[in-house]
């Protein structure tokens, strides 16, 4: 069996490579591995999902797997990923399972796992679960009779989560008019309600999930829809979430996109001024634009670069007891309020800065002057071989010499798809694109799809 876990759980084509049988096996293995060190009580698992039609099928398989391993299960239904993490912590559950493929198209789905406390799994635990799945862990020695797990439903999980979000908002949002693109996903109910209860005037779009329309030409991967509506409504800003609502991107009143790097800068400066930015340090990833690093340095804020993936951001945050981190893609983590990236929480804190400062989003985001950045996703036969090929590495070295200190190259195999991501920053977009295309051609030659 190949690598089961990517950068954000197990992901694949639902009922294709991500089958109910695999979901059941992962659930059994996770239950055994995550609680095997504590046999003093019957384990409890929280299970949630986004609105994808395949989530119903996979939820049934996961619940069967968990209960067959002796875990009691509480189903929380359709909720954002960070809501599931929050409820794991609040209920003192031993593990959590979120069924979602985030921003991926509807036919895909995924299994995200949370340990006790609502934290994402470290690599070591994922490796043990993978091994347990491969070994058929749990086929023998399963509980019988009264030791089999039971299933209950939590009907007011959304209500508890919304109350938590509003309480975590720094100040009221009166006077803010916002268009919210819910991606026909997990934020379709809780996002607009949370923003309204915090005081904003909310116009919700793509908030009618039918199981088939999640991420369909909407949400954080299709920003043109929220941009157009912001302009039409004369709104102060737009907010766009992805399918499971752990991301937040924004649009200014004039229609310019504000990405995760700019959002992090806005929040970092606000937290520094409030004295809540621990050690005046921000955690970002290697994908963040050099412009963020320059802006933070000029503002006296240190920036730590983590590997791509919000769990790696979290590792750095936890290791240093830090207060803010995130990714250019819009995963923003504030450990005081959440154990993982939370798009709605981010939207609330971003709007709180507009309401509290009286400044526009464009003015706040102007602190970051982004270098032109070009990202090319190269579909390959073998993503590891495509990235590591000597001809590819030689092309990267040549590009780095050409760019010097005025840009950079980042070559990264995707954690979830058969892609090699080629990212180049340079002084001009023309130079960035030229260099990126040159490297991408070498990747394609080294490992054609």
Which residue ranges make up the annotated binding site for Mg(2+)? Answer: 102, 242, 244, 246
Q: Name, in order, each residue with C-beta under 8 angstroms of 272's C-beta and a sequence gap of 6 or more.
A: 280, 299, 300, 301
Question: Quick check: is 102 catalytic?
Answer: yes
- Residue 188 per-residue DSSP state: T
Question: Could you identify the residue written with the tokens 């991501």?
Answer: 421
Tokens, residue 200: 């904003």
Helical H segments across 38-115, by residue range: 53-68, 81-90
Tokens, residue 410: 């980042």
76 closest CA partner among 57, 66, 63, 67: 63
Instruction: Let me know: does 435 contact 403? Beta carbons within 8 Å.
Output: yes
Q: In 3-state terms, what secondary structure has residue 234? A: coil
CA dist 353 → 144, 342, 364 (Å): 55, 17, 8
What DSSP string describes 336-394?
TT-SS--HHHHHHHHHHHHHHH---HHHHHTT--PPPEEEEEEEBS-HHHHHH-HHHHH
Pairing verdict, β 95-99 and 108-115: antiparallel
What does the radius of gyration of the chain's CA atoms come to, in whole angstroms?
A: 22
Question: Rounded CA gap, 334 and 412, in Å?
Answer: 26
Question: Rounded CA gap, 202 and 193, in Å?
Answer: 9
Helical H segments across 69-110, by residue range: 81-90
Q: In 3-state terms, what secondary structure has residue 226? A: helix
Cβ neighbours, 10 Å, residue 128: 18
Question: Rounded CA gap, 245 and 162, in Å?
Answer: 13
Question: Rounded CA gap, 104 and 17, in Å?
Answer: 15
Dihedral (CA of 79, 23, 92, 75) sign: positive
Question: Rounded CA gap, 10 and 33, in Å?
Answer: 16
Instruction: Let me know: does 273 contact 285? Beta carbons within 8 Å.
Output: no
Q: Of the listed 54, 68, 102, 220, which one is catalytic?
A: 102
What residues are annotated to the active site?
A: 102
């Amino acid at each position: 069996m190949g690598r089961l876990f990517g950068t954000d759980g197990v992901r694949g084509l639902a009922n294709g490579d991500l089958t109910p049988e695999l979901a059941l096996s992962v659930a059994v293995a996770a239950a055994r591995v995550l609680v095997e060190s504590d046999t003093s009580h019957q384990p409890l698992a929280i299970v949630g999902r986004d609105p994808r039609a395949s989530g119903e099928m996979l939820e049934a398989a996961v619940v069967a797997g968990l209960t067959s391993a002796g875990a009691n299960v509480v189903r929380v239904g359709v909720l954002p990923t960070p809501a599931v993490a929050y409820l794991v912590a609040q209920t003192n559950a031993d593990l959590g399972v979120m069924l979602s493929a985030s921003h991926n198209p509807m036919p895909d789905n995924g299994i995200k796992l949370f340990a006790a406390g609502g934290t994402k799994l470290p690599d070591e635990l994922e490796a043990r679960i993978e091994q347990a799945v491969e070994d058929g862990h749990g086929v023998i020695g399963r509980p019988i009779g009264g030791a089999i797990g039971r299933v209950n439903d939590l009907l007011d999980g959304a209500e508890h989560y919304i109350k938590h979000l509003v309480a975590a908002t720094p100040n009221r949002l009166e006077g803010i008019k916002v268009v919210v693109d819910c991606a026909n996903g997990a934020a379709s109910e809780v996002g607009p309600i949370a923003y309204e209860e915090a005081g904003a005037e909310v116009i919700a779009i793509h908030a009618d999930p039918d199981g088939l329309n999640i991420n369909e030409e909407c949400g954080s991967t299709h920003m043109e829809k929220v941009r157009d509506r912001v302009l039409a409504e004369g709104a102060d800003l737009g907010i766009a979430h992805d399918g499971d609502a752990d991301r937040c991107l924004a649009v200014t009143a004039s229609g310019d996109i504000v990405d995760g790097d700019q959002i992090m800068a806005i929040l970092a400066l606000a937290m520094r001024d409030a004295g809540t930015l621990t050690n005046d340090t921000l955690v970002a990833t290697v994908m963040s634009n050099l412009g963020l690093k320059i802006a933070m340095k000029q503002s006296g804020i240190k920036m730590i670069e983590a590997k791509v993936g919000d769990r790696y951001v979290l590792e750095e945050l936890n290791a240093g007891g830090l207060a803010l981190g995130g990714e250019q893609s819009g995963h923003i983590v504030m450990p005081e309020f959440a154990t993982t990236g939370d798009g709605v929480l981010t939207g609330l804190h971003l709007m709180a800065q507009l309401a509290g400062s009286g400044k526009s989003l464009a003015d706040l985001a102007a602190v970051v002057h982004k270098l032109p950045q070009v990202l090319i996703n190269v579909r390959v036969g073998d993503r590891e071989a495509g990235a590591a090929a000597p001809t590819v590495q030689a092309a990267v070295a040549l590009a780095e010499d050409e760019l010097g200190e005025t840009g950079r190259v980042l070559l990264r195999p995707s954690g979830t798809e058969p892609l090699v991501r080629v990212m180049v920053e340079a002084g001009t977009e023309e130079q960035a694109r030229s260099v990126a295309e040159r490297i991408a051609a070498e990747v394609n030659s080294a490992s054609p799809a």
